[in-house]
């Protein structure tokens, strides 16, 4: 097939230019979406009276045959034809003759590629939403399983206050629920049809774009032909959703990497998801979690890369927009793998309850010794000072709060009574946080039931 634009040129395209400008090596991933929207376009041309019934049938049959060959690995993509669109169209012309050239009537690659990308994003986003839901269900099951386990929470990576482990899992479940909302918004921003906008100014053919939208499953149309062909904000939306979700996965990975170390010893990672060292025989490395943490940088980079591409573009379409595809494909593939990897890790996780409980006591109990005084009328700042003095006293003597006697407590404040010693139990302390969204057992039971209903598990 000749190049679609070569009639204006007197020289053959330099081989370097063909290699440099081609996109088929990566945009062939859009092949099935390109054929799908081409079939819808043919039906729209038929409806408009631009194609005859027998012409439309022959073109559609040819496209479906090409689709089968691509799916079965029999199709050869040609770099000299630049992109997936011209490869499909060129093959169609080779197979059915000049009639195949009518496929591109009332269509530009500018509105064609934007349509392909939106179809791709919509399908891939639905898949990611399913993976996110599966991960959240795993977190809910972990919450039920670990409801009676207590460990320290951390601020500034220093032990803060005792919490029930279920509270931690549900915190990430909330984050991944917000990720779902971001992906739904990304899906919605891709749910407007560009096809029928032409290259930039609209078309001089009587196409029923609403019919095309219905054929392709779009809920609305792009309302301005320039915006339809120049806009890539819908890709930024999905790249942003991927980046934020990756951030959440990375933070969870970091915690689990720390928790699986000998220094913490809170969890054991499944052997089948770890690797060893080529030199140190004792090593068990959390490679899946480390790669999730590392790949998050790619998700950030892909978002920034496209934002930089877009920042200086004049209206409307420019070839720079070819650079939108590799970041898009990479982010969606990368996040899919990260979600699958994290779910496998969580499903195989072993929890070391004794180590968690041992770490959850100590100075993380001091806030409650201060609050005990506040509940007896002492201003919080004074109560805070007294609890701080008790902390200093214990540190000087290399003792833990659990070692305190009532007499020692009363040497700091006569308001301490026998029941204050109950606050030296991490589970008691955790269960004092009864406010909505807190870590008390009764509140967590309520939160788990809510989560199960929301995830369709109840």
The predicted structure's pLDDT at residue 261: 97
Distance CA(41)–CA(85), nearest Å, equals 13
Domains of the chain: 6-105 (1.10.275.10), 110-356 (1.20.200.10), 359-454 (1.10.40.30)
How many whole angstroms separate alpha carbon 182 and alpha carbon 303? 15
Q: What is the pLDDT of residue 117?
A: 98
Which is the catalytic residue, given 2, 76, 156, 278? 156
277 is catalytic: yes
Instruction: Report helix angle 441-454 to 109-145, nearest 10.
Output: 140
Contact yes or no for 310/316 (Cβ under 8 A):
no
104 is catalytic: no
* pLDDT score recorded for residue 21: 86
pTM of the model: 0.94
* C-alpha dist (Å) from residue 216 to 83, 100, 143, 189, 197: 22, 21, 41, 15, 15
Q: Tokens standing for 69?
A: 């060959």
Residue with tokens 């194609």: 51
How far apart (Å, rounded) are the C-alpha atoms in residues 197 and 309? 23
Residue 1 pLDDT: 57
Q: How far is CA 422 from CA 369, 384, 418, 419, 427, in A?
A: 10, 19, 8, 5, 10
Burial of residue 435 (CB within 10 Å: 0-12, 13-18, 19+) is: exposed
Q: What is the mean pLDDT of each run of 10 residues along the chain (458 residues)?
A: 67 83 95 98 98 98 98 96 96 97 97 98 98 98 98 96 98 98 98 98 97 98 98 98 98 98 97 94 95 98 98 96 98 98 98 97 95 97 97 96 96 96 96 97 98 96
Residue 197: CB atoms within 10 A of its CB come to 29
- Active-site pick, 261, 277, 389, 411: 277
Q: What is residue 6's predicted lDDT score, i.e. its pLDDT?
A: 67
Cα-Cα-Cα-Cα dihedral sign, residues 158, 160, 166, 170: negative
**Burial of 73 per CB tally in 10 Å (0-12, 13-18, 19+):** exposed
């Amino acid at each position: 097939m000749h190049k679609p634009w070569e009639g204006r040129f007197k020289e053959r395209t330099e081989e370097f230019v063909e290699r440099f400008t081609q996109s088929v090596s990566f945009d062939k991933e859009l092949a099935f979406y390109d054929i799908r929207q081409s079939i819808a376009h043919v039906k729209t041309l038929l409806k408009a009276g631009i194609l005859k019934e027998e012409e439309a049938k022959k073109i559609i049959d040819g496209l479906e045959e090409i689709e089968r060959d691509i799916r079965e690995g029999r199709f050869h993509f040609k770099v000299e034809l630049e992109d997936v669109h011209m490869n499909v169209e060129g093959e169609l012309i080779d197979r059915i003759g000049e009639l195949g050239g009518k496929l591109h009537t009332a269509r530009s690659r500018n509105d064609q590629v934007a349509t392909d990308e939106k179809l791709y994003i919509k399908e891939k986003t639905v898949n990611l939403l399913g993976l996110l839901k599966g991960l959240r269900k795993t977190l809910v099951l972990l919450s039920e399983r670990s409801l009676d386990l207590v460990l320290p929470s951390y601020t500034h990576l220093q032990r803060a206050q005792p919490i029930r482990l279920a509270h931690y899992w549900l915190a990430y479940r909330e984050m991944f629920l917000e990720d779902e909302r971001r992906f739904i918004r990304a899906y919605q921003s891709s749910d407007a049809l560009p096809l029928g906008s032409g290259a930039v100014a609209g078309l001089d053919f009587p196409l029923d774009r609403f019919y095309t939208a219905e054929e392709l499953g779009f809920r609305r149309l792009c309302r301005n032909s320039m915006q339809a062909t120049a806009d890539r904000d819908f890709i930024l939306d999905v790249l942003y959703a991927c980046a934020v979700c990756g951030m959440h996965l990375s933070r969870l990975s970091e915690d689990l990497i720390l928790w699986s170390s000998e220094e913490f010893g809170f969890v054991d990672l499944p052997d089948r998801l770890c690797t060893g060292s080529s030199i140190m025989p004792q090593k068990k490395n959390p490679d899946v979690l480390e790669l999730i943490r590392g790949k998050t940088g790619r998700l950030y980079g892909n978002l920034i890369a496209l934002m930089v591409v877009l920042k200086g573009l004049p209206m409307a379409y420019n070839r720079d927009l070819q650079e939108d595809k590799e970041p898009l494909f990479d982010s969606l593939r990368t996040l899919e793998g990260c979600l699958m990897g994290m779910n496998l890790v969580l499903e195989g996780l072993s929890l070391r309850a004794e180590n968690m409980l041992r770490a959850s006591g100590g100075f993380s109990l001091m806030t409650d010794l201060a609050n005990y005084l506040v509940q007896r009328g002492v201003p919080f700042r004074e109560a805070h000072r007294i609890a701080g003095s008790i902390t200093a006293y214990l540190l000087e003597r290399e003792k833990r709060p659990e070692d305190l006697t009532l007499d020692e407590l009363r040497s700091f404040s006569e308001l301490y009574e026998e029941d204050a010693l109950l606050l030296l139990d991490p589970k008691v302390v955790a269960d004092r946080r009864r406010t909505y969204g807190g870590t008390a057992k009764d509140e967590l039971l309520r939160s788990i039931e809510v989560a199960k209903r929301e995830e369709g598990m109840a």
